[in-house]
Structure 1
Amino acid sequence: MKGAFGCECISAKGKKSVQAGGQPMICTPLIGQTKEELFHEVEVLTEKNPDVIEWRADFFFITFMTRNK
């Protein structure tokens, strides 16, 4: 199934791990606390061709909320 930006979507319903072709996939987190840090991480990570990228929005929003009080 195709998702946003033409990426391949993989369902993990009822499974303990996401697999592609029977092999476990590696999930790489984005933990940047600013937009610039996130864009830099994406740039570096996409060159490494990760299986899955997880955006850790909690890191981003905690910083955003503390700066905008």
Structure 2
Amino acid sequence: MPLIDKTYRAKGLPDLYINLKGYLGSLEQTSDEGLRRTMETNFFGVWRVTQAIFPLICRLML
């Protein structure tokens, strides 16, 4: 992920990594499409960022 690489080169490895993002509307007003978008952000967004930074963290721990 270019942003992670660029940030690492400029600032080094962060001391702390917290991946918080999420939203959800009311259950009775959430459509299937709305739920899909919510899962895309709340689950897959976190997953993608974690996948991107994990190799860097592992490489630096060795």
Using structure 1 for the length normalisation, give the TM-score. 0.29
More strand per residue: 1 or 2?
1
If the length of structure 2 is used for normalisation, what is the TM-score?
Answer: 0.31
Q: Point out the structure with the larger helix share.
A: 2
| Greater relative CO, 1 or 2 (CA 8 Å, sep 6+) | 2
